[in-house]
Amino acid sequence: MMERYENVLRYLGYTSIERSGAFIEQVMALFDELVKDSVPRNIYGIYDLELKDKRVVLGKGTVVFNSGHLAGHLAGCRECAVIAVTLGLPVDKKISYYQSADMSRAVIYNACANVYVEEVLSYAADQVRKDAKAGYNTFPFSPGYGDLGLEVQKEIIELLQTEKSIGLYVNERCLLIPEKSITAIMGLK
C-alpha cells in the first residue's frame, strides 16, 4: 500500500519525504476520497496480430496502426490486446471543483488519480494475461508513446465500442473523456 503513496509523491515531484506528518496524511485521505469518487471500468479485446515493417495489423486488417515503435514493441507476438480503462466522470468533476476551491488539493488529487488509473490498467492487463493464457506479454503501450500518435485513440474507441461499454469518448483533439482514462496495446506470446 505504501508503494501507492510513493507513486503519488513521484507524480508530485518529491524524491524523499518524511513518512509521517500532515502532508502524507493529506495524500492518503485524498487517495481514499478518490477511490470513493471513482467508477473504474475497463474493456479489452484480443486480436490476431500481423506486423509488416512499421505497420501493425489487427484482426485480419480490421485496424492498422502505422508505428515503428509499436511494431518493435510487439515483435515476436502472435496476438495483442487492446485495452481501455477509465475512472469515470466524477473524478474529472472533483478535479475541476478542487481547481476552483483549493489548488493544492487539486494537484494532489490529480496525482492520486494518475496513480489509480495506472492501477486500473494494471488490473485489466492481469485479466488479459489470465484470459489469453499467454506465456509472455509486453507492457501496455499507449498512444502518445514514441511515434504512435494520439489520433489512434479514435480507432481504439471505435474498435472497443467504449462509448457504450464504459462511457469513454475521444474529442476532436484525440484526448480521452473522462480525462483519467488510458488506452493501450499489449503484445501476447
| Portion of the chain with pLDDT greater than 90, in percent | 78
DSSP letter, residue 140: P
Q: What are the grid coordinates assigned to 4, written together?
A: 501507492
Confidence of residue 110 (pLDDT cuts 50, 70, 90): very high
Q: Using one digit for the tens of pLDDT, what is the confidence trace for 127-167?
A: 999 998 877 899 999 999 999 999 999 999 999 999 999 99
Is the pLDDT reported for residue 16 higher than 80?
no
Give the CA count within 13 Å in the CB-facing half-sphere of 102: 8
Confidence of residue 93 (pLDDT cuts 50, 70, 90): very high
Q: Are 157 and 169 a contacting pair, CB within 8 Å?
A: yes
> How many C-beta atoms lie closer than 10 Å to residue 1's C-beta?
7
Distance, in Å, from the CA atom of 170 to the CA atom of 40, rounded to the nearest integer, reads 17
SS3 assignment for 14-81: CCCCCCCCHHHHHHHHHHHHHHHHCCCEEEEEEEEEEEECCEEEEHHHCEEEECHHHHHHCCCCCEEE
Torsion-angle region of residue 167: left (phi > 0), alpha (psi -120 to 50) or beta?
A: left
Cα 125 to Cα 184: distance, rounded to the nearest angstrom: 10
Q: Distance between CA atoms of 35 and 37, rounded to whole angstroms?
A: 6
Model confidence over 58-84: pLDDT tens digits?
A: 988 889 999 999 999 999 999 999 999
CA distance 151 to 55: 15
Residue 138's SS3 state is coil
Q: In angstroms, how far apart are the furthest CA atoms of the chain?
A: 56
On the question of pLDDT at 34 being above 80, the answer is yes
